[in-house]
Structure 1
Amino acid sequence: MINIRSLVKRYNGLTAVDGLTLDIGENEVFGLLGANGAGKTTTIHMLATLLKPTSGTATVNGFDIVAQPSKVRESIGIVFQAPSSDDMLTGYENLHIHSLLYSVPGNIRKKRIDEVLELVGLFDRRHDRVKTYSGGMRRRLEIARGLLHKPKVMFLDEPTLGLDPASRETMWKYVRRLVKEEKVTIILTTHYMEEADLLCDRIGVIDKGRIVALDTPANLKASLGGDIIRIKTHDKNAGEIARKFDFVQKAEFADGFLVLSVKDARRSLPALLQVIEAESAEFSSPTLNDVFIRLTGRNIKEEAEGGFMERFAKYD
């Protein structure tokens, strides 16, 4: 569904995307993970034809992003990070206007609006003004709007940012449902590791404009091996001390913690604390955040990079 070859974007000498090559399959939920400034938003801007690449090529649904931008836009839907629905209009009125902009045929317009409202659980609230909707409801309305013209690809930019845990789980349910019922490919950006783990078929970790890891969530976590121990310590020799134990597979510092991969954390931790002066210690099974730390040397922050148009505006 998406083919990217050697894609590059530079801004006045700054390389935001550096030779990106990637294939994303039909009906795949693909997670693009990266810290602020890593290049993921710029990549999506190019795929959505909001930015022209400096070099390289990409196609979406078989259409070239530079030579056929109108065809690409007909093939995609976007859910912005920042709300963009008119809160003085009803949910139905917002979708009706969008259906006119995307030339949804008049004979199926109402049926299609009702379908997407039902899909995201807002049919009973369709005649209420959007200003009366909760944050989660507004986000679901934006998904419905993006689906109106039956796109082949949906870009979800931080779809659950700022939502409470219950609303976030509700959003996950609807994302899974739209993949199943609408047969759409989803490109998801998120700072929530549990969200990526739950929803994505594959994940690409992007750092400094390059994909540094690409695999399923399970395989990425398995690549770390064993359990993870984090020890808060100011002992600069702690890593060297830890490596002397045969149960320690890897040892490195990240965000002020000594991060260790070990075979059995419950048995290993007491032995380590006997020889390392620690302020605190904890252990867990590997998570996607551990993978991210290992690959980039830092913890991904649960903050937004800014909405699509807001980011685009600074380059306009």
Structure 2
Amino acid sequence: MNTAAPSPAITAAGLRKSFGEKAVLDGVDLSVAEGTVFCLLGPNGAGKTTAVRILSTLIEADGGTLRVAGHDPVRESAAVRSAIGVTGQFSAVDGLLTGRENLLLMADLHHLPGRRRRERAAELLERFDLVDAADRRASTYSGGMRRRLDLAMTLVGEPKIIFLDEPTTGLDPRSRRTMWQIVRDLVDRGVTIFLTTQYLDEADELADRIAVLDQGRIVASGTPAELKRRVPGGHIRLQFPDEARAASAERLLAGSSREGELFLNVPGDAGVGALRALLTRLDEAAIEVDALSVHTPDLDDVFFALTGRPAAEAGETANETAGETADDDDQTTENHLVQKESGR
């Protein structure tokens, strides 16, 4: 039986891009497995949007080797565009058209036959809970509805890979969680998601793997759990039935600290091995434990440790350097360009 791992959906080696004298991407290496969520984290100006624009054929890199869905984005741009969808920071929805008309327009760009284009539009309206608003102008939609319609438009061509560039920016908590569920459903169907975000809870919730981009370079990568273990501050909190046993455990476990009469915090990476060793020591010393909980640093701690600033502050810094920003009109044009070219 062939047990070889599937080819990555996206690879980049030595990816470089400069705007003027500013190196926005400076030797970036990436590998994204098929059917997973890969999250690119970083402060404004780190190069996230530039990476998305290069991988989705909108601009060319200055150097490096790339493969998206097995194709070179420069020499085989049409093949790449037929395999991908892009939902950018700004909605590509036409507010003068109804939700249904926006979807039919995208179906036309993908050259779907008449009956199939209507069926596809109806399927996506149902899937994204937009049936009741299907024949209203998109300009009347809420922010969450516009983002759902935007993603539905991206899915008209049934892409294998979807780039989501900060897709929940500006959405209320309920709409964000709706988008999260949509992303999970897409991955369950085998779609690969390349996600950029400044919301660390979003990355923690969705990502199979994360890469942290800062000043044009990848400064760390791994699963959310692996990244958290790289940052000090993790500990195991033990609860004891009485003060005497808590005191005995404190004497036994060097570096531990009491919290009240019954609780003890034991520093460590809180991994399975460390937890097993700790419980074995307590058992051998006949010290009974009532309960325990594992505390690890969160991604905000990771972000701060790797970039030198908290995520909230990084998200409020000046807009990304030349080439990294796009106003609403530019971003909308680019999103439609990918969709239109993929239908040729």
TM > 0.5: yes
**1:22: Cα distance to partner?**
1.3
Aligned to 2:307: 296
| 1:310 matches 2:327 | yes
Aligned to 1:190: 197
**1:2: Cα distance to partner?**
0.6
Mapping of residues 203-222 of structure 1, within 5 Å: 203-222=210-229
Between the aligned residues of both structures, percent identity stands at 46
The DSSP-based 3-state class of the residue aligned with 1:154 is strand
The one-letter code of the counterpart of 1:310 is: D
Aligned to 2:109: 101
Q: Which has the higher strand share?
A: 1
The DSSP-based 3-state class of the residue aligned with 2:38 is strand
Aligned to 2:24: 16
- Whether the aligned pair in 2 keeps the contact of 1:4 and 1:58 (CA below 8 Å) is yes
**1:88: Cα distance to partner?**
2.0
**1:116: Cα distance to partner?**
1.9
Aligned to 2:206: 199
User: Root-mean-square deviation (CA), in Å?
Assistant: 2.7
Aligned to 2:287: none
| 34 and 148 in structure 1: CA distance in 2 versus 1, 3 angstrom threshold | same
- Whether the aligned pair in 1 keeps the contact of 2:52 and 2:165 (CA below 8 Å) is no
- Whether the aligned pair in 1 keeps the contact of 2:54 and 2:61 (CA below 8 Å) is yes
Query: With CA pairs under 8 Å and 6+ residues apart, which has the higher RCO, 1 or 2?
Result: 2
Aligned to 1:278: none
- Whether the aligned pair in 1 keeps the contact of 2:90 and 2:328 (CA below 8 Å) is no
- Whether the aligned pair in 1 keeps the contact of 2:44 and 2:315 (CA below 8 Å) is no
Mapping of residues 27-176 of structure 1, within 5 Å: 27-176=35-184
The DSSP-based 3-state class of the residue aligned with 2:176 is helix
- Whether the aligned pair in 2 keeps the contact of 1:139 and 1:159 (CA below 8 Å) is yes
Aligned to 1:234: none
Mapping of residues 235-314 of structure 1, within 5 Å: 247=255, 263=267, 285-300=296-311, 301-302=314-315, 309-310=326-327
- Whether the aligned pair in 2 keeps the contact of 1:29 and 1:200 (CA below 8 Å) is yes
| 291 and 192 in structure 1: CA distance in 2 versus 1, 3 angstrom threshold | same
- How far apart, CA to CA, are the structure 1 residues paired with 2:316 and 2:166? 9
| 132 and 303 in structure 1: CA distance in 2 versus 1, 3 angstrom threshold | farther
**1:311: Cα distance to partner?**
9.2
Aligned to 2:261: none
| 312 and 215 in structure 1: CA distance in 2 versus 1, 3 angstrom threshold | farther
The one-letter code of the counterpart of 2:307 is: T
C-alpha distance after superposition, 1:30-67 (max 9, x if no partner): 10000011111111110011111111121111110110
| 303 and 149 in structure 1: CA distance in 2 versus 1, 3 angstrom threshold | farther
C-alpha distance after superposition, 1:246-270 (max 9, x if no partner): 859xxxxxxxxxxxxx829xxxxxx
- How far apart, CA to CA, are the structure 1 residues paired with 2:191 and 2:22? 34
Q: What TM-score results when the alignment is normalised by the length of structure 1?
A: 0.77
Structure 1 unaligned segments of length 5 or more: list them.
229-245, 249-261, 265-283
- Whether the aligned pair in 2 keeps the contact of 1:80 and 1:308 (CA below 8 Å) is no
Q: Which has the larger radius of gyration?
A: 2
- How far apart, CA to CA, are the structure 1 residues paired with 2:153 and 2:325? 16
- How far apart, CA to CA, are the structure 2 residues paired with 1:303 and 1:215? 26
- Whether the aligned pair in 2 keeps the contact of 1:50 and 1:312 (CA below 8 Å) is no
- How far apart, CA to CA, are the structure 2 residues paired with 1:94 and 1:6? 38
The one-letter code of the counterpart of 1:155 is: F
